[in-house]
Amino acid sequence: MAQKTSAQQKGAAPAGIDAGLARALYNDMVLIRRFEEKAAEAYALGKIGGFLHLYIGEEAVGVGATSTLRPDDYAISAYREHGHCLAKGSDPRRAMAELFGRIDGLCKGKGGSMHLFDKSVNFLGGHAIVGAHLPLATGVAFGIKYRGTDQVIVCYFGDGAVPEGEFHESLNLASLWKLPVVYICENNRYAMGTSLERALAQTEIWKFGQAYNMPCEAVDGMDVLAVRDVVARAVGRARTDKTPTLIEARTYRFRGHSMRDPAGAVYRTKDEVEREKLRDPIVLFRDRALKAGWLTEEDARKIEKDVHDLVDEAVAFAEASPEPPASELLTDIFKES
C-alpha cells in the first residue's frame, strides 16, 4: 500500500500546531527533498530523460499551502511541480515511475517530469508553457462556482509568469467574477537566468493583487508555518465567499533552473546561494519543532529514515516498471466528454 503524505489531511486549524501536524509537515518536506535528490541522481545516470526541474529549497511553499486544503480541493502548477504533486498526496512510486517514463507512472510514462497529473488527488498538472495554466486555474474555479460546491483551487506559478498576459487576464476575471482561486507566486527571484529586476517594472509581486482589487500579501516562503497561515486565510475566503487572493511566497531554488543548469552559477553569485542555503526551510522547521517540543530528535530521525526507505522503494518500483508499449502511442490523446 502506497504511503500517502498526510499534511493535507491534517488541514483545517491554521492557528494550532501539534505534534501530529508538525510530523506531517516535516515528513512531506523531507519526502519532496529526498525524492528530488534521488531523481537528480537517476537523471545523472541517464535513467530519466528530457527536462528535470528541481524544487529543492522551495518545499515550504507547497507543503504549507497544501496543509490547508481538503483532499477534494484542487491544485495546479507549472513544470517545477514534483513537490506540489507529492504534497497533494500522490503515490511517490507512481510519481517516480512517471519521471522514468514507465507504464506505472501517474500518466503511464507519457508525461514525464513536467507533466505529472493525478486525478485521484485532484492534482491538475504539471504545465510547461509559462503562464498557460493560470487561465486553466481560473476556469476550474469558475467550474467550482458553477457547480455550486465549496471546493477551492490553489494555483502555483513562478515569478516568470507575472509579466505574461495570462497572469493579468486571470486575476482580472477571478476578481470580477468572484472565483474561489488562490494564486501563489513562488518568487525565487529568477526566471531561468533572468533576475526579477530585469523582467518586472513592479518587483513587489503581491501588489498586482491591488490593481485587480483582490486581497494580496507577501509571505516568507522559507517558513512553512507562515505560508500555512497566509494560505489558510486565503482558502477560507475562497471557500466561504468565493474571494480570490494573490500570495507572493518569497523563496529560493538551491539548484539551477534545470538539470542542464545544475548550479545556476552563471547568473548568481556563490555568496548569494550560500547565504540563501542558511535559510533552508527543512532545517529551519526541524530546529523550531525540536525547540518547541513538537518533535523529538528521535521522531525526526525516524521520519528521515522512513522517507529514505520509501524513496528507495519508489526508485526500485520505477526501475522495475516496463516502458509503455507502442500500442499506447495513440491513446490518451483526446477524450470526448
Ligand X SMILES: Cc1ncc(C[n+]2csc(CCOP(=O)(O)OP(=O)(O)O)c2C)c(N)n1
Point out which residues bind ligand X (CB under 6 A). Answer: 80, 128-131, 158-161, 188, 190-192, 257
Answer with the entry of ligand X, Mg ion, none that 303 interacts with (C-beta below 5 to 8 A by kind).
Answer: none
Q: Could you say which of Mg ion, ligand X, none residue 192 binds, taking C-beta under 5 to 8 angstroms by partner kind?
A: ligand X
For residue 95, what are the contacts with CB-CB under 8 A and spacing of at least 6? 35, 82, 85, 86, 105, 106, 116, 314
Distance of CA 174 to the CA centre of its chain: 21
Task: Work out how close the CB of 159 gets to Mg ion at its nearest, in angstroms, rounded to a whole number.
Answer: 4
Q: From Mg ion, ligand X, none, which one binds at residue 263 (CB under 5 to 8 Å depending on kind)?
A: none
Stretch that binds Mg ion, among 108-116, 159-167, 258-266, 313-321 (CB under 5 A): 159-167
Minimum CB distance to ligand X smaller for 10 or for 189: 189
- Smallest separation, CB 251 to Mg ion (Å): 9
- DSSP category for residue 184: E
**Beta carbon of residue 160, minimum distance to ligand X (angstroms, whole number):** 3
> Looking at beta carbons only, is 78 or 171 nearer to Mg ion?
78
Q: Does 58 bind Mg ion (CB under 5 A)?
A: no
C-alpha dist (Å) from residue 43 to 101, 157, 163, 191, 314: 12, 24, 31, 22, 15
Residue list 184-203, contact with Mg ion (CB under 5 A)? 188, 191
For residues 106 and 171, which CB has a smaller minimum distance to Mg ion in the complex? Answer: 171
Query: For residues 118 and 248, which CB has a smaller minimum distance to Mg ion in the complex?
Result: 248
> Is residue 159 at the binding interface for Mg ion, with CB under 5 A as the rule?
yes
Find out whether 155 and 166 touch, Cβ atoms under 8 Å.
no
- Residue 124-143 contact track with Mg ion, rule CB under 5 A, x = bound: --------------------
- The nearer residue to ligand X, 82 or 93, going by C-beta atoms, is 82
* 158 makes contact with Mg ion (CB under 5 A): yes
Nearest residue (CB) to Mg ion, 91 versus 159 = 159
The interface partner of residue 129, options being Mg ion, ligand X, none and the CB cut-off 5 to 8 Å by kind, is ligand X
Contact 225, 283 (CB under 8 A): no
CA nearest 229: which of 87, 73, 76, 64? 64
Of 257 and 286, the one with the shorter C-beta distance to ligand X is: 257
Burial of 165 (0-12, 13-18, 19+ CB in 10 A): exposed
How far apart are CB 194 and Mg ion at their closest, in Å?
9
Determine the Cα–Cα distance for residues 143 and 137; give it in Å rounded to an integer: 10
How many residues bind Mg ion (CB under 5 A)? The answer is 4
Cβ atoms within 10 Å of 206's Cβ, excluding its own:
20
Nearest residue by C-beta to ligand X? 158
Please state the closest distance from residue 163 (CB atom) to ligand X, in A. Answer: 10
Q: CA quadruple 188, 191, 195, 197: dihedral positive or negative?
A: negative
Nearest-angstrom CA–CA distance, 113 and 80: 8
Confirm if 247 and 206 have CB atoms less than 8 A apart.
yes
SS3 75: strand
- Using the minimum distance from each CB to ligand X, give the nearer residue, 151 or 188: 188
Per-state percent for the chain, helix, strand, coil, to nearest 5: 50, 10, 40
Which runs of consecutive H residues, i.e. helices, occur in 257-322? Answer: 270-277, 281-292, 297-320
| Among ligand X, Mg ion, none, partner that 257 touches (CB below 5 to 8 angstroms by kind) | ligand X
**Contact set with Mg ion (CB under 5 A):** 158-159, 188, 191
